[in-house]
Structure 1
Amino acid sequence: MNAYSQSLAPANTPLRETLSLDGSWEFRHETDREWRHAKVPAHWQACFEDLSVSFGSATYRRTFTLPVEWSAREIAIRFGAVSDLATVFINGTEIGRHEGGYLPFEFVIPSALLKAENTVEVLARLPDAHRNESGADFAEIPHGKQSWYGPQGGIWQSVLIEARDPAHISSLRLDPIWPEARLDLKAHFASMVAGSLKIEIIDPQGMPVFTGNIPAAGHTFKHSIQLDAVAPWSPDSPNLYTITTILSADGVEIDSRQESFGFRRFEAKDGFLHLNGKPLYLRAALDQDYYPDGFGAPPSLDLLEDQLRKAKAMGLNCLRCHIKVPDPRYYEVADRLGMLIWSEIPNIETFTPASAERLRTTMEGILARDGNHPSIVIWTLINEDWELGCARRPNSGNGFPTWSTGCVWKTRYGSLSTIPPASRTSTSRPTSTTTTSTERRWIGARSGTRSAANSQAMPTGPSRLTRKPCARGRNRWSSPSSASGVYPILPVCAKRTAATPGGWPMVPPGRMARPCPRASKPVSANSLLRKSLVISVVSSRRCSGINT
């Protein structure tokens, strides 16, 4: 089963004890003959040069000693994130499986399996283009920019063993209301309770502003707390409050949980964004959240703090973390130092019932883990307009959009076109009926080999926005040759080793494509404002992401 929590950090309170399993683990990729050692947390692609673009399965293994004083408590193993499919074993016995490479999960370890010395093994699988025994392939799992910058597999966030009471606080959802100075909270318990919940709230100056003891019974607790005037949270004044909840049963304290939160109101009205009742001019940058040393994982808290301070020094007040779920410390730093965050769900490549369900589960997990952060003001449901251009056709067989007469497609650059009947896998080029091109880039449904065979047909027409050839034998976006309707699966910066009839460079089999580091296409201000087509909870014509 999956057990989502806010993060690993809030659970570490005086009534819970933890044992970190971060550090060196034995590691063996499916292509290895011998065991070697890998750092945890980290993607295996960041640890080993020979596995830098590898998919497949890898086994992690290490031992841990269980403290004697934990023998009467519930013991759980908790993972910040494992990409993408994880199977966990304790002393040779499987205790659970989890799917999804960005979110936390945990398994309670049966007491009968535990010894003084224990061995934990984690089988981590990152699906490639071939459907595996779990029914997944890369195209149908949320993966974001892994199709651009390379795969990311393995245990890439912290792992710990936790000792706690079986009737613990499993989640705490906070809803601060500004300017009313009211806090609505909802707690979930892991099992039935009959006792009370002590609540203490500390203001940004460290002074207590509320203390109360409220009866609690059942699996769920709801309560509203009215405070006096509160200090609102904003990038200029990141005022954070701290709430501590202590669960008691039969007069004995059995569990506690602590969270930070902020009072703020973010809304769109009259064509403008407003923060705490005042118009806000959003100065945002798109953050790919990739690092020289950690690849898709930040190497340290200091680095996260340093990059955010530099972003503020540049005059930015918002970062759009692009189609990935970041390390939870990313949001903690934004809360504490003051930065608005545009959060996004990682995209898939092929929209099917299975991938739709994975997207829904991922979005629910994002909200469960990150819903208490005042820094997050926009939640992206899907990037640009991928797979959402057409209404569903009743006779499309699988119920998903296909090209059809009169179907209007939004393009990557904001232009519109009408596509005549054609198969999505056709090698002939449909004819655009508008005066602008529809250089809609179809991300291929398979990773790995990049060739003309898995590219998609594109409409013709004069190119409105193009990329010109790069130096050093590289290539950017540009208009295709009139002799060929085949576009490559990705714009690449790999050196040309093969080409389509239109002269587009292709990536050799087994190599990952990378986007060019610099843009050379001329763009106008209006085209930039139209460039990113994002469906989000908060939208306004004054708020537009620039997606490069």
Structure 2
Amino acid sequence: MVDTPPARPAPDHPRPTFARPRWACLDGPWDFAEGRPGDTPRDWDWDCTIEVPFPPESAASGLGLERCDHPRYRRTFTLGSDIEAPGPGERLLLHCEGVDHEARVWVDGQFVGRHEGGYTPFTLDITDALGEGPGHEVVIAATDLARDLEQPRGKQDWHDQPHAIWYGRSSGIWRSVWLEVVPATRLASVAWTTLDTFGRLRGDIRIEGWAEDDDLAVEASFAAAGIDLGTVRVGATASVVEVGARLGRAAHADTPLLYWTPDNPMLIDVRLRLVRGDEVLDEVAGYTGLRTIGVRGGTVELNGVAVFSRLVLEQAYWPDTHFTAPSLEALRAEAELIKGMGFNGLRIHQVSADPRFLRTCDEVGLMVWADVPAAYVHTPRSTALNSRTLTELVERDRNHPSVVAWVPYNESWGVFEVADSAQQQAAVRAAYWLAKALDPSRLAIGNDGWENVAGDLVGVHDYTHDPAVLAARYGSPDAVSATLSGVRPGGKLLLVDAPTPGTPAVLSEFGGVSLPREADSWGYGAVPDASALLGKVAGLVAKVGAASGLVGFCWTQLTDCLQEQNGLAWPDRTPKAPLGALREAIGAQPPPISLL
């Protein structure tokens, strides 16, 4: 068997850190119907078509419905044409990257499974449901009740029309649906963790179909910039195999610096193989990055070096496609726009990121804070759904080095009595500790902005447009401490409990300067033209930058979104001022010289 250095998966693969070559996307025209509670496929009249994965409320779907609580979908696929037919000992998997909020699935008339949770993917083994012949039918019934405030909705409005800070809905299928042929005994998942600043990497690899009497082993091959870094082989004595490698010290004089940072977003390409003797049973391509993030001495350190975060609030909303990106090219352009504006990261706000967008963030060098989309009431069900969403997001995204922080709750959304309710405070603390239990290698903020309960950082939201006020509140460590010890104007409590001494503070929402086009739009403060916009941005950022008492900021927001027109770019992603001028206003340094 001749080896070559592992290569990264194709750019369009829906799960870029765990990819096999035998897959097929089912996006495109599907039959569509509106259903009702408790119905089944025999009840539906397929009277129109929809363009998947665009939600039925969006113009790009071809429907543009105002409200669709029960969207129903059907399409056929052909084995040997749409996708290679599984052979003996192989299975056919159906992957759904996002179906909001609950999905029920049938294949060839047989019910094959369900999933609850609109912001996370699910996978079903549909092999045993396949009927005779090459042609087969998939039916997906979604339920997404517009008025259900217990389910995670993020920025999706529960009113008939978008209002205030909430936008149009993305019900039903809103991310890709795809098929994959896999071996029955296969690699099921991998979780990569950088253990220290010396580049020790650990992979926890789960095997589907492992048997105690089977002589299996896992091989992991590593490369960077096309340079082979070696292969590790570990016998599979259990269904989870731990693989370790020390990659931080270059094996060759021409090996580039291997650690991932925004200025040097080096990625480690990985090929995993499941072998029995010399026989390769399964092979998966992916990548990760050598990157540690943590808090020490009142600072945030990336790979052991203090880092100041210049983030932007990313709503990930497009006028014609809602929370679904218009294209793969749009995802890359989004990340490159953020980088070009001078930010070194973003907060993906109240929506889960498309994994292909995270791949671009990995490749261009952007640090990502990942929100869990909020419910708007607090009940045992909403708490359970929050925990499930967080758990599934960590499992999906933990191999992306760009993701540096988990945010289970935004402000007090869904826990509106958290300042006084012991139960709601317990929900936030539990979410923080769940994030740390699932993934101790990243930062976690229990609830970000107002009534902070638990977190590795204290997140503060402050939309004052007076630079002198910002300087007085955050201009030095002593000023930040004094600000956190009080109550903000309007009676907003900043801290429920005093944080551990030395806990850093981030101005995790501020700015919101509006250059409006529409009479009914709004922002946190309007300016008349692009020149005034640049002056306002520069004046505010100058008071909260690296010389302040903060360890980072997050500017609100990247783009205008419907009536909320306080973006640095228009809804079509055209910047409101020249990129170079925006970059200078954000306080970014000139782009670094490439090390490659």
The normalised TM-score by structure 1 is 0.71
Give matches, 1:203-222, under 5 Å: 203-222=223-242
Give 1:141 shift.
0.8
Q: Distance in 2 between matches of 1:210 and 1:256?
A: 17
Cα 1:48–1:225 shift into 2, 3 Å? closer
Give matches, 1:297-336, under 5 Å: 297-336=324-363
1:38 maps onto 2:57 in alignment = no
Cα 1:74–1:466 shift into 2, 3 Å? closer
Cα 1:472–1:20 shift into 2, 3 Å? closer
Q: Distance in 2 between matches of 1:157 and 1:93?
A: 23
**Aligned match of 1:70:** 86
Cα 1:466–1:381 shift into 2, 3 Å? closer
**Aligned match of 1:382:** 409
Alpha carbons 1:81, 1:104 under 8 Å: kept: yes
Alpha carbons 1:42, 1:156 under 8 Å: kept: yes
Task: Choose the corresponding residue for 2:188, options 144, 166, 170.
Answer: 170
Give 1:339 shift.
1.0
Give matches, 1:434-473, under 5 Å: 436-438=489-491
1:264 maps onto 2:291 in alignment = yes
Task: Choose the corresponding residue for 1:181, options 199, 203, 212.
Answer: 199
Amino acid across the alignment from 1:121: V
Q: Which runs of 5+ in 2 are unaligned?
A: 1-12, 37-43, 158-165, 251-257, 429-449, 453-459, 465-486, 494-510, 528-535, 558-596
Give 1:33 shift.
6.7
Deviation string 1:115-159 (CA, Å, 9 cap, x unpaired) is 321111111111122xxxxxxx2x011111002102111212221
Q: How many residues align?
A: 434
**Aligned match of 1:102:** 119
Alpha carbons 1:331, 1:373 under 8 Å: kept: yes
Amino acid across the alignment from 2:490: S
Give 1:467 shift.
12
Deviation string 1:490-541 (CA, Å, 9 cap, x unpaired) is xxx5xxxxxxxxxxxxxxxxxxxxxx35634999969x97xxxxxxxxxx94
Cα 1:279–1:49 shift into 2, 3 Å? same
The 3-state SS of whatever aligns with 1:218 is coil
Q: Distance in 1 between matches of 2:488 and 2:239?
A: 60
**Aligned match of 2:525:** 519
Give matches, 1:413-424, under 5 Å: none
Q: Distance in 2 between matches of 1:208 and 1:159?
A: 34
Cα 1:252–1:349 shift into 2, 3 Å? same
Cα 1:22–1:49 shift into 2, 3 Å? closer
Q: Distance in 2 between matches of 1:11 and 1:317?
A: 26
**Aligned match of 1:445:** none
Give 1:19 shift.
2.9
Cα 1:315–1:236 shift into 2, 3 Å? same
Give 1:360 shift.
0.3
**Aligned match of 1:22:** 27
Give 1:381 shift.
1.9
Deviation string 1:170-211 (CA, Å, 9 cap, x unpaired) is 110001234222111101112224333343433322111111
Alpha carbons 1:197, 1:245 under 8 Å: kept: no
RMSD over aligned Cα, in angstroms? 3.7
Q: Distance in 1 between matches of 2:173 and 2:316?
A: 17
Amino acid across the alignment from 2:203: L
**Aligned match of 2:440:** none
Q: Distance in 1 between matches of 2:68 and 2:33?
A: 13
Q: Distance in 2 between matches of 1:298 and 1:40?
A: 12
Cα 1:393–1:40 shift into 2, 3 Å? closer
Overall identity of the aligned pairs, in %: 25
**Aligned match of 2:551:** 542
Alpha carbons 2:310, 2:554 under 8 Å: kept: no
Give 1:358 shift.
0.4
Please, which moves more after superposition, 110-119 or 258-267? 110-119
Q: Distance in 2 between matches of 1:352 and 1:364?
A: 18
1:142 maps onto 2:160 in alignment = no
Q: Distance in 2 between matches of 1:257 and 1:399?
A: 37
**Aligned match of 1:513:** none
Alpha carbons 2:220, 2:243 under 8 Å: kept: no
